[in-house]
Amino acid sequence: MAIRNIRTDEDEILRKVSKSVDEINQRILTLIKDMAQTMYDAKGVGLAAPQVGVLKRVVVIDVGGGLFELINPEIVKKEGEQIDIEGCLSLPGIMGDVKRPEIVVVEALDPKGEKVTIQADGLLARALCHEIDHLDGILFKDRVIKFVDEDELRKRRKG
């Protein structure tokens, strides 16, 4: 396992559309392990393969309830809406409010190639949407309703 270099905004790879994984080989399994380690090391709650320079449809997410390792994830259902603050390991120093569905259903493959269906709400729904956006070259700042600076964040935490 290895920690990989997280690409930032200036890297045009973040704007490209990732390709589906058609064979879960050792390379993909190593990628997934490295991504999880890289995410935990950076204290993030999610990471998508393009963020480590690989244009494959792979994401890892852990919002505190355990690790999801998802291959070819797809949102098959969205319901309701929520507005909350978001950030991104590829966009250090930028935060903002983003509107996301309150509930999503995501279908994907796990590292064993088994189909998994995840029904998620709240932060996990938000993280799934954010990471799957990365696979289509979309960054959260494209969807920001209002950018939030440190002062504003401090005020909100107090209130």
The nearest distance, CB 74 to Zn ion, in angstroms, is 18
Q: Name the residue with the smallest CB distance to Zn ion.
A: 88
The residue among 157, 145, 159 whose CA lies nearest residue 97 is 145
Q: Which is nearer to Zn ion, 14 or 21 (CB)?
A: 14
Catalytic residue among 12, 74, 107, 131: 131
Q: CA 72, CA 91: separation in Å to the nearest integer?
A: 24
The nearest distance, CB 33 to Zn ion, in angstroms, is 19
CA angle 135, 49, 47 (to 5 degrees): 90
Q: Which is nearer to Zn ion, 24 or 85 (CB)?
A: 85
Contact footprint for Zn ion (CB under 5 A) = 88
* Contact present, 3 and 36 (Cβ < 8 Å): no
* Contact present, 107 and 76 (Cβ < 8 Å): yes
Length of the chain as a residue count: 159
Q: Which is nearer to Zn ion, 78 or 143 (CB)?
A: 143
The nearest distance, CB 116 to Zn ion, in angstroms, is 21
> Would residue 131 show up in a list of annotated catalytic residues for this protein?
yes
Q: Which is nearer to Zn ion, 88 or 124 (CB)?
A: 88
CA angle 60, 65, 71 (to 5 degrees): 25
Active-site residue numbers?
131
